[in-house]
């Protein structure tokens, strides 16, 4: 059987056995690449070594195409968010392959897999891999560093991936409605066909979008030079976040406690951060700065009416380089008329119309 026929057979079988993976995989561009040992996908095209595919069974080849399909769902460059390209590729492979194994696809030996990463998001796996490297527990040869790319090329790739991602999510929504979606697939798509999205996931996504964390080979890490290993050294920019809390009498202290608890948990995954905390009812009552390792806590003061404008005026006047403001409130108050030049996430126990920003509803 020719390789082309074997590929066609595997793709057809994947479409029958796993319609979601098969439909998305049908859009992938397949490219021969004799310079790689097995296969890799960036969410737009799937590159493969012909000798590697020849050795696979049809079932294992289904796994390869499903892996390529799932890279599309991760919006590869968009979710990478400044992370090291080679390490992000590895992290996404672990996350994808764990989900495929859970759905009983047959994994080739060459595909990245570890039970240790079972059930984790790619972002969480990336953080663990990074820590392992820095603790000398994982030896990984960074011989596929392609992070330095022309900016225009990156923008074009991101646009292509966004289009592919929109197609993938449309297919996924259809699968959800028909009850045919694979197990654990929700880790890779935002479910839009029902109204309840876990607020913790939304808060997590908001932080990850703005948290920059990267590696560089210039210079390489000194820890590994004596072993003739050129492992990227770590460069982390301090993650700056503004958190505002509405202290008016209508705010639910139990929900506030849940919000702060979740925020503390999420910031523990960030190695270098600075949080500017603002307490406000109709005026600023407290401004306090928290750094990495500090526990974010707030004692409710005030109890008067709610006016959101003092917070935005304070940020404009006193704080620099603000990219994200998270505002906890019941959203009953006076809003600023103009949107600021940074992202605003309103965390509230209920749905409400806001003049700018997005609302994250606290509900389980």
pLDDT tens digit at each of 364 positions of the chain: 788 888 999 989 988 888 888 887 887 888 899 898 888 876 678 888 999 999 999 999 999 998 888 876 665 555 566 666 677 778 888 888 998 998 899 999 888 888 888 888 777 888 888 777 666 544 444 434 344 444 445 455 555 555 555 555 556 555 555 556 666 666 665 444 333 346 667 677 767 666 654 444 445 555 555 555 555 555 556 778 899 999 886 667 777 788 888 787 777 767 678 889 999 988 999 899 988 878 888 777 656 678 999 999 999 999 988 888 999 988 989 999 899 988 899 988 888 889 999 888 886 5
Residue-wise pLDDT for 108-155, tens only, equals: 988 888 888 888 877 788 888 877 766 654 444 443 434 444 444 545
The dotted CATH code for 237-361 is 3.40.50.410
Q: Can you give the pLDDT at residue 323?
A: 85
Strands lying side by side in the sheet with 29-32: 29-32, 45-48, 39-41
Whether residue 332 contacts residue 351, with contact meaning beta carbons closer than 8 Å, is answered with no
For residue 160, count CB atoms less than 10 angstroms from its CB and return exposed for 0-12, middle for 13-18, buried for 19 or more. Answer: middle
**Beta 324-328 vs 343-348: how paired, if at all?**
parallel
Whether residue 276 contacts residue 243, with contact meaning beta carbons closer than 8 Å, is answered with yes
**Beta 324-328 vs 239-246: how paired, if at all?**
parallel
Q: Can you give the pLDDT at residue 21?
A: 83
3-state SS string for the chain: CCHHHHHHHHHHHHHHHCHHHHHHHCCCEEEECCCCCCEEECCCEEEECHHHHHHCCHHHHHHHHHHHHHHHHCCHHHHHCCCCHHHHHHHHHHHHHHHHHHCCCCCCCCCCCCHHHCCCCHHHHHHHHHHHHHCCCCCCCCCCCCCCCCHHHHHHHHHHHHHHHHHHHHHHHHHHHHCCCCCCHHHCCCCCCCCCCCHHHHHHHHHHHHCCEEEEEEEECHHHHHHCCCCEEEEECCEEEEEEEECCCCCCHHHHHHHHHHHHHHHCCCCCEEEEEEEECCCEEEEEEEECCCCCCCCCCCCCCCECHHHHHHHHHHCCCCCEEEEECCCCCECCCCCCCCEEEEEECCCCCCCCCEEEECCC
Q: Can you give the pLDDT at residue 24?
A: 79
Domain ranges of the chain: 3-195, 237-361
Q: How far apart are CA 128 and CA 135, in angstroms?
A: 10
Looking at the DSSP bridge assignments, the partners of residue 27 are none
pTM: 0.46
Q: How far apart are CA 125 and CA 114, in angstroms?
A: 11
- Cα separation values, 265 from 38, 42, 60, 258, 272, Å: 38, 31, 38, 11, 14
Q: Can you give the pLDDT at residue 193?
A: 36
Q: How far apart are CA 144 and CA 65, in angstroms?
A: 22
Q: How far apart are CA 330 and CA 336, in angstroms?
A: 16
Neighbours of 275 (CB within 10 A): 20
Nearest to 297, CA basis, from 315, 281, 277, 327: 277
């Amino acid at each position: 059987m020719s390789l082309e026929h074997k590929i066609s057979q595997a793709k057809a079988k994947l479409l029958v056995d796993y319609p979601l993976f098969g439909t998305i995989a049908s859009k992938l561009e397949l490219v021969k690449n004799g310079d790689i040992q097995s296969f890799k996908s960036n969410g737009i095209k799937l590159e493969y070594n012909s000798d590697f595919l020849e050795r696979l069974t049809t079932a294992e080849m289904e796994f390869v195409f499903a892996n390529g399909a799932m890279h599309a769902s991760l919006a590869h460059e968009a979710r990478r968010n400044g992370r090291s390209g080679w390490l992000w590729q590895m992290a996404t492979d672990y996350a994808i392959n764990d989900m495929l194994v859970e759905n009983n696809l047959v994994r080739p030996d060459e595909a990245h897999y570890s039970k240790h990463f079972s059930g984790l998001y790619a972002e969480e796996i990336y953080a663990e891999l990074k820590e392992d490297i820095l603790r000398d527990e994982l030896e990984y040869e960074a011989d596929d560093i392609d992070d330095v790319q022309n900016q225009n090329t990156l923008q074009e790739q991101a646009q292509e991936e966004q289009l592919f991602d929109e197609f993938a999510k449309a297919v996924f929504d259809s699968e959800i409605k028909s009850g045919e979606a694979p197990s654990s697939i929700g880790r890779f798509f935002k479910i839009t066909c029902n109204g309840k999205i876990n607020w913790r996931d939304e808060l997590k996504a908001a932080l990850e979008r703005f948290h920059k964390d990267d590696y560089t080979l210039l210079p390489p890490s000194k820890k590994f030079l004596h072993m003739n290993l050129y492992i990227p050294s770590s460069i982390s920019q301090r993650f700056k976040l503004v958190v505002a809390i509405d202290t008016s009498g209508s705010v639910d202290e139990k929900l506030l406690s849940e919000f702060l608890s979740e925020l503390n948990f999420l910031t523990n995954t960030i190695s270098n951060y600075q949080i500017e905390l603002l307490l406000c009812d109709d005026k600023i009552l407290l401004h306090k700065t928290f750094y990495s390792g500090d526990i974010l806590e707030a004692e409710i003061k005030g109890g008067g009416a709610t006016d959101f404008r003092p917070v935005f005026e304070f940020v404009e006047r006193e704080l620099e380089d603000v990219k994200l403001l998270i505002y906890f409130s019941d959203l009953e108050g006076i809003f600023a008329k103009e949107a600021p030049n940074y992202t605003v996430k309103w965390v509230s126990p209920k749905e409400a119309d806001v003049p700018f920003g997005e609302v994250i509803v606290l509900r389980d």
